[in-house]
Structure 1
Amino acid sequence: MNEAVPATMRGVYLPGTSSTELRELGVPEPGPGQVLIQVGASGICGSDIGYIYRGYKTHKGVDGPAYRGVVSGHEPSGRIIRTGPDCRRFSAGDRVIVYHIAGCGLCDNCRRGYFISCSAESRASYGWQRDGGNAPYLLAEERTCVPLPDELSYVDGALIACGFGTAYEGLRRVGVSGEGDLLVVGLGPVGLAAGLIGSGMGARTVVGIEPSERRRAWAMETGAFDAVYAPDRLDEAVAGTGGRGFAFAIDASGSAPGRSAALQAAAEWGHVSLVGEGGELTTEVSDTLLHKQLTLHASWVTSLPAMAELARNLVAWGIRPERIVSDRFPLERSDEAFALAAGASRGKVVFQSEGEV
């Protein structure tokens, strides 16, 4: 049964001036194949900070196409309260994660579940080209919804929607297992997610590299890491593997020094995953890559099926993504929340609806 909803609500917009605006807008009615979600939690992503909040104009090498003046937030999770005609999988009352891209559903990438790589002009990201999750209600395509297990909170779901999905895809590509140690370079929210997921996947040890002392301390508080080092102690981190190096490494820093550190610390026949956006990759080839027989992987978010798989795996592993959350805000404090996420946050910053769990 569809629930009653107010006629209007206030959503968070990003004018591109390192500030936020709360604007009133109507609560939409779901059309064919759409659902209306009462948002329980919504995360602030690093890509929102640079490309939208700070007003940078280039994304994916194209000048100024990305943000179209919509409600921000591409990491939502919540409860369906209304369904439109032709919805066949989900019903009112279902708890869901929202995959943050609405792809065409017809191209090869979409048919594999990788809406992130949809090639159609109709591709639209929540919070970029269509209204996102930083509002009390979100109009979503049913095909972008992923079941949220009862054991996980809406905050957990919001983190799975982007950062944890990104980390999971990168770790799946390198095949993390108990046969080797894992190095995570860059301990922002995606790196923290990689540490937790890597432990769940059975990595022998999980070690982090991070220049910020504040973030190193928070990473250890999450319980995801066996040890965390500053970049100038990389040799000490490698020594902790018996000098072999790391069978698995993932760079979430998006920086040239971070990527170099991951390659340098990788063991012979190791696998290195690149998931951090931006920057460059500069490396000596012979000793660093060829003679160590390294395999490099690059990935961009994950697929719908893998996101659903991740949610189930997190329950099986007894891991709660919200362990990496350092700060929670109501939407009314959006200026404070975005300023913290863009500055000296220790971990993940999220919006959480009052009373939602």
Structure 2
Amino acid sequence: MRAMYYEQFGAAPEIRTLSDPTPTTAGVVISVKATGLCRSDWHGWMGHDPDIKLPHVPGHELAGTIAAVGRDVRRFKVGDRVTVPFVSGCGHCMECRSGNQQVCEEQFQPGFTHWGSFAEYVAIDYADQNLVHLPEEISYETAASLGCRFATSFRAVVDQGRLQGGEWLAVHGCGGVGLSAIMIGAALGANVVAIDIAEDKLELAKALGASVTIDSRSVADVSEAVREVTGGGAHVSVDALGHPQTCCNSILNLRRRGRHVQVGLMLADHATPAIPMARVIAHELEIYGSHGMQSWRYDAMLRMILSGKLSPDRLIGRRITLSEAAPALATMDGFRENGISIIDRMI
């Protein structure tokens, strides 16, 4: 199979011909039809994720058809259209048994703990617990855009943030995660404030449902600006970027008893940000992490897509080849992408 491959962190990835994977007894091999290029892949390539062992094939947002099935798989067969959460569970630990596969004690992640989807084929273990049947009405490209950013935002806003219609949602960072959160918040009937430094991203945020946009470079205090436009602060705030400053701003812009959800990864030098804990205590704020979404929760998200309430395809920016993705991966630290880049051709 053709695949993106690197042997050293930070070294230019190559497109190589590698051996096709084979399924485990409980797993499948998926023929990849589309896969998203995500900043998490950049973090992995930089060596920020200790789970990655070299050499490595990245990629974790994927959709395709099943090409091979292990003998113990019962719910899926060759030819099925599928997608998969980027955090997959073992199916037998305490967290998996409670329905929380996204924090499985033995979790695996294609593109991180295992070789990923920047390839013609990818192997996924424990298929019955982790795969999601993909409706015919949803394209592979749209499904690939769900795997990490959109699904994670859905859980962050709906399950962790418990956002309700009429509430204020602040979203810090208008990349793929942030734009997804904006669309989901607007679909739930919330008033959304989008914060970023790029005018084109703020314009896209407005088109996707943001009621107010704030260019953080043009205000003296981002949290104060949010509290002003919301009449006292956001009910729910999401740090979709993953930076000490956006994390702090997200907490400080909450109204009393508000909920902060951390979605943007905080790795390497940013792993232990300063938290305004005095404000958290005095205002009884709630702080949540959000790490993927369980396969069984995809049904709620897919229903909203099929009904037209959510249109994740609008978040897709560039469609590129596997060869074009190799240099694109190396520049993802610049936050220049507007929307989600999808690899839809393995050439």
TM-score in terms of structure 1 length? 0.85
2:168 aligned residue: 181
Shift of 1:209: 0.8
Residue 348 in structure 1 maps to residue 340 in structure 2: yes
TM-score in terms of structure 2 length? 0.87
| Selected match of 2:252 from 256, 264, 271 | 264
| Mean CA deviation greater in 269-278 or 302-311 | 302-311
Counterparts of 2:333 and 2:243, CA distance in 1: 17
8 Å Cα contact 1:246-1:266 kept in structure 2: yes
| Mean CA deviation greater in 338-347 or 266-275 | 338-347
Counterparts of 2:225 and 2:314, CA distance in 1: 27
| Selected match of 2:4 from 7, 12, 36 | 12
1:212 aligned residue: 198
Give the CA RMSD over aligned residues.
2.4
Shift of 1:131: 2.3
Residue 238 in structure 1 maps to residue 227 in structure 2: yes
Secondary structure of 1:126's aligned partner? coil
| TM-aligned CA distance change 1:89 to 1:65, over 3 Å | closer
Q: Could you give the per-residue CA deviations for residues 292-329 of structure 1, whole angstroms, max 9, x where no partner exists?
A: 33222222222222234322333234322122222111
2:213 aligned residue: 228
2:284 aligned residue: 293
Counterparts of 2:177 and 2:237, CA distance in 1: 14
Secondary structure of 2:18's aligned partner? strand
Q: Which amino acid in 1 is paired with 2:75?
A: R
Shift of 1:258: 0.9
| Mean CA deviation greater in 128-137 or 208-217 | 208-217
Counterparts of 1:272 and 1:65, CA distance in 2: 27
Counterparts of 1:24 and 1:300, CA distance in 2: 32
1:166 aligned residue: 152
| Mean CA deviation greater in 308-317 or 70-79 | 308-317
Alignment of 1:320-335 (within 5 A): 320-335=311-326
Q: Could you give the per-residue CA deviations for residues 253-301 of structure 1, whole angstroms, max 9, x where no partner exists?
A: 2112212221222122222211222124434444x33443322222222
| Mean CA deviation greater in 108-117 or 32-41 | 108-117
Counterparts of 1:297 and 1:29, CA distance in 2: 38
Counterparts of 1:29 and 1:272, CA distance in 2: 42
Q: Could you give the per-residue CA deviations for residues 203-239 of structure 1, whole angstroms, max 9, x where no partner exists?
A: 1x11111123343234334x23222212253344433
% identity of equivalent residues? 28
1:6 aligned residue: none
Shift of 1:126: 0.9
| TM-aligned CA distance change 1:70 to 1:339, over 3 Å | closer
| TM-aligned CA distance change 1:129 to 1:292, over 3 Å | closer
8 Å Cα contact 2:63-2:84 kept in structure 1: yes
Secondary structure of 1:195's aligned partner? helix
Secondary structure of 2:76's aligned partner? coil
1:44 aligned residue: 37
| Selected match of 1:309 from 300, 307, 326 | 300
Counterparts of 1:150 and 1:306, CA distance in 2: 19
- Aligned positions, number: 334
1:24 aligned residue: 17
| Mean CA deviation greater in 187-196 or 345-354 | 345-354
